[in-house]
Amino acid sequence: MAPVNMTGAVVAAAALLMLTSYSFFFRLSEKKKRKEKLTMRNGLVDAIGNTPLIRINSLSEATGCEILGKCEFLNPGGSVKDRVAVKIIQEALESGKLFPGGIVTEGSAGSTAISLATVAPAYGCKCHVVIPDDAAIEKSQIIEALGASVERVRPVSITHKDHYVNIARRRADEANELASKRRLGSETNGIHQEKTNGCTVEEVKEPSLFSDSVTGGFFADQFENLANYRAHYEGTGPEIWHQTQGNIDAFVAAAGTGGTLAGVSRFLQDKNERVKCFLIDPPGSGLYNKVTRGVMYTREEAEGRRLKNPFDTITEGIGINRLTKNFLMAKLDGGFRGTDKEAVEMSRFLLKKDGLFVGSSSAMNCVGAVRVAQTLGPGHTIVTILCDSGMRHLSKFHDPKYLNLYGLSPTAIGLEFLGIK
C-alpha cells in the first residue's frame, strides 16, 4: 500500500485553524468596538436619559406588586428636569428664538433651574434663574456654583406681577431689548441721549443684569412650553416601555409643570390603552380634585384657610393650583392625595430598607406607587419616577430640626403610615 501523503492535509488543517482563529478574534474585536461605541456618549448632553429602571424591593415585597423606579437622579444635573432643559434649549435654538451667547431665563423652585444651568453652557448659552426665597438654600447655592445668576424673590401668587415666573419672563424681554439696542447702536455706556426742546438731556439708566455682549434672551417657560411634554413623550415614556418590554400595568407620578406625567402617560396609553395612569398630589394642590371631581380647588381653600403659598407643602416642585398646557396633555385614570408626613416617612423607609436617598417629590411618587398597588391588588407592575436625590433637600426635607418645627418628624417602623403592617 502506498504511503498516505499527510503534508497537504496538515497544511489545510493549519490554514483552516488560522482562518477560524482570525475570524473569532475579528468578531470579538468588532463586538468590543460596537460595545464601546454604544457605551461612549458624546458630551454631557448625550449622557442625559437612558436612566436605569430598578425594582424597589421593599415596596414590591410589601405590596405583592412589582414596583419599579426610574432613576432620574442619575442624570448629569441630578434630576428628571435635565431632559426638559435639553429639549427646551434645542427647540429654541432650532426655531431661532435663542442664539449662542444668549440668556435662558426661568422661574423655578430648583430642579429645572439646576438643569438649565447645567445644560446651557453645552450650547454656548448662559442662564438666569428667579427663585422663591423659601426654597431650600442648597438649590440656589448649586445654581450659582454652576455659573448661573440667581435672583431670589418673595413667594406670591402667579397672578402677581412679581411672581418668580413672571419676573423671569420680564428678564428675557430685558435681555432681548438690550441685544436689540446694542445691534442698533442706540446705547453707549448705559447713557441714553435724546433731544428735548433743542437741548440734550442725559438719562442715566439702571444697570442691566446682563452683559452688553448678550445676544438676546429666551424665557424657558417650563409650565407652558410643550417642549417639556415632548421631552417625556419622546424620551422617558419610550424608555420605560422598552425597559419593561411592554409589561407594565400602571404609571403614577406627581405633577408640578405636568410635563413628566403628561408625556409618559400619553405615550404609554398610546402604546397600550390598558395601562392605567395616576396622579399623586401633595397638600395644597388643586390637581387631585380636578382629576377626581372635575373641580379645581384645594381642601385648604374649601375650609376657608389661606396658606402663605397656594401650594404650601414640604414637597418642592410639585403641586399647583392651575392647569398648565403640559398637564392638559395628560391621560389619567384617577388620582390619589398624599400628605407631607407620608412623604417624609416614605423617604426614611426607602433609605433604611433599600439604601435609596431620595428627595421629597420622589418620596411622594413612591407613596403614590403603594396607593396604586393597594388599588389594583397584587401581581401588577407599577412604574414611578425617582426625580432627584435627597442631596438638594438637606436644609428642609432631610433636616430633623426643620421637620420637628412642623410636627413632621418620622416615627414609623415600617409602612404602617400607609396601612401596611
Q: Indicate the CATH number of 46-75+231-418 among 3.90.550.10, 3.40.50.1100, 3.40.50.300, 3.30.930.10.
A: 3.40.50.1100
Please say if the pLDDT value at position 170 is more than 80: yes
Answer with the residue of higher pLDDT: 125 or 297.
Answer: 125
Average pLDDT rounded to a whole number, residues 269-280 = 98
Q: How confident is the model at residue 252 (pLDDT cuts 50, 70, 90)?
A: very high
Average pLDDT rounded to a whole number, residues 333-358 = 97
Please say if the pLDDT value at position 206 is more than 70: no
Question: pLDDT tens digits, residue range 42-70?
Answer: 899 999 999 999 999 999 999 999 999 99
Full DSSP string of 58-105: HHHHHHTSEEEEEEGGGSTTSBTHHHHHHHHHHHHHHHTS--TT-EEE
Q: How confident is the model at residue 214 (pLDDT cuts 50, 70, 90)?
A: confident
Q: What is the pLDDT of residue 203?
A: 44
Q: How confident is the model at residue 353 (pLDDT cuts 50, 70, 90)?
A: very high
Q: Indicate the CATH number of 80-183+211-219 among 3.40.50.1220, 3.10.450.50, 3.30.70.2740, 3.40.50.1100.
A: 3.40.50.1100
Q: How confident is the model at residue 150 (pLDDT cuts 50, 70, 90)?
A: very high
Average pLDDT rounded to a whole number, residues 247-264 = 97
Question: pLDDT tens digits, residue range 12-40?
Answer: 555 555 555 555 555 655 555 555 555 68
Q: What is the pLDDT of residue 193?
A: 46
Could you give the C-alpha distances from 154 to 117, 131, 163, 308, 393, in angstroms and in order? 21, 9, 8, 11, 19
Question: pLDDT tens digits, residue range 78-111?
Answer: 999 999 999 999 999 999 999 999 999 999 877 8
Q: How confident is the model at residue 213 (pLDDT cuts 50, 70, 90)?
A: confident
Answer with the residue of higher pLDDT: 373 or 393.
Answer: 373
Q: What does pLDDT average to over the chain?
A: 87
Could you give the C-alpha distances from 262 to 62, 116, 279, 305, 317, in angstroms and in order? 28, 21, 10, 30, 16
The Cα 76–Cα 394 span in angstroms is 19
Q: What is the pTM of this model?
A: 0.83
The Cα 237–Cα 245 span in angstroms is 12
Please say if the pLDDT value at position 399 is more than 90: yes
In the chain, residues under CATH classification 3.40.50.1100 are: 46-75+231-418, 80-183+211-219
- What is the CA 346 to chain-centroid distance, rounded? 20
The Cα 133–Cα 112 span in angstroms is 16
Q: How confident is the model at residue 209 (pLDDT cuts 50, 70, 90)?
A: confident
Please say if the pLDDT value at position 9 is more than 60: no
Q: What is the pLDDT of residue 305?
A: 46
**Which range among 50-54, 196-200, 323-327 shows the weakest confidence by mean pLDDT?**
196-200
